Amino acid sequence: MPKTTRQTKIPGDPVLPSEITPESVYLSRRAFMHSGMRTGALLGVGAMMPALGWAAPAWLQDQVGAHEPGTPIDEDITPEHHATSYNNFYEFGTDKSDPKRHAQQLTTDPWSVQIDGLVNRPGTYDLEDILAPHALEERIYRLRCVEAWSMVIPWLGFPLADLLARFEPQGSARYVEFTTLYRPAEMPGQRSRFSSIEYPYVEGLRLDEAMHPLTILAVGMYGKVLPNQNGAPLRLVVPWKYGFKSIKSIVRIRFTEQEPQTTWHKSAPQEYGFYANVNPNVDHPRWSQRTERRLPGSLFGSNRIPTRMFNGYADAVADLYRGMDLSRYY
């Protein structure tokens, strides 16, 4: 288990109070956690588990519960209820409420991750072995969906680069491919005859994107263990890309020389590019990407705001794409 936690300065445009949604309950809870930490107390997450609707293994509860908030958060975020009940996770259905409704039947313990491809230390590793060496960090990131809605979410996780380095990618590795669990008995969307995509779900990153310090593997959100509907027990978070790149419930990580054949790009390449960088200048064929609907809205408006290049992280990631035609490599 990690014995320390880190706070990381996130490059890019700061998340401003004027652009995000109030969440006073969350701030109050974080303030309480700070108070407890200063007196040597740890606020465990075990007591919160019934509210999540699933039972994470005790060691993972302890790991997340032992995460200490660092610098006090002086910004509001998307209310937890919205972030855990409005989801795209087609393995559980296509309606935004389907994942929360159906994901509670998913078995997440035991869990293992297969590491293979162009790597010197391949194998199948238990989740505890995957996570044990890594200190958890809290990262507050914008989440921008390709459907033109967005949220701001506090994730708990660690840099993907730290994990990938442990398995020693070979010199010929240029991409990293990720695969979601395939278990139709527990994931009703996978057994639907009317599915618009093939399963298991596959996503990928160029190796330099995967190794970028903004890219994390998340095991929690809002100071708690990830709920099933948000990708428990292990999901990718790549904040400058559209949300479908942040693959959920990962069971395989493969290093390749060739660009992976990713699920949505195979299904509709004219709509969902491999890179999927947030770009207000490149519209989806069926709607504009110049603005986004920040959730939740209100009775008096949809809370529509301008979309930023690379979701506001251009200063940190633009150099990854220097010289590329981003209207072609969308």
Report the CATH number at residue 176: 3.90.420.10
In a domain, 14, yes or no: no
Kindly list the distances between the CA atom of residue 322 and the CA atoms of 47, 205, 310, 319, 329, in Å, as whole numbers in the listed order.
48, 16, 13, 5, 12
With CA atoms as reference, report the closest residue to 252 among 130, 158, 80.
Answer: 130
pLDDT of residue 285: 95
In what helix (H) or strand (E) does residue 99 lie, and over which residues does it extend?
Answer: helix 98-102
Q: How many degrees, rounded to 5, is the angle at CA 38 between CA 32 and CA 41? A: 75
Q: How many domains does the chain have?
A: 1
- Which tokens hold the place of 167? 């398995």
Flag residues of the chain having pLDDT under 50. 1-8, 17-54, 68-75
In a domain, 8, yes or no: no
In a domain, 274, yes or no: yes
* Torsion angle of the four alpha carbons 23, 65, 47, 150, in this order, in degrees rounded to the nearest 10: 30
With CA atoms as reference, report the closest residue to 178 among 196, 195, 162, 164.
Answer: 164
Query: 119 in helix, strand or coil?
Result: strand
Q: Please tell me whether the overall predicted TM-score, pTM, comes out greater than 0.85 for this model.
A: no
In a domain, 5, yes or no: no
In a domain, 96, yes or no: yes
d(CA 139, CA 214): 9
In a domain, 202, yes or no: yes
In a domain, 7, yes or no: no
In a domain, 10, yes or no: no
CA atoms within 13 A on the CB side of 242: 26
d(CA 144, CA 199): 23
d(CA 106, CA 301): 36
Q: b or e along 131-140 (b: 16 or more beta carbons within 10 Å of the residue's beta carbon)?
A: beebebbbbb
Its domain, for residue 227, covers 20-321
pLDDT of residue 57: 80
H helices of 5-97, where? 24-38, 49-52, 58-65, 80-85
Q: How many degrees, rounded to 5, is the angle at CA 88 between CA 49 and CA 303? A: 95
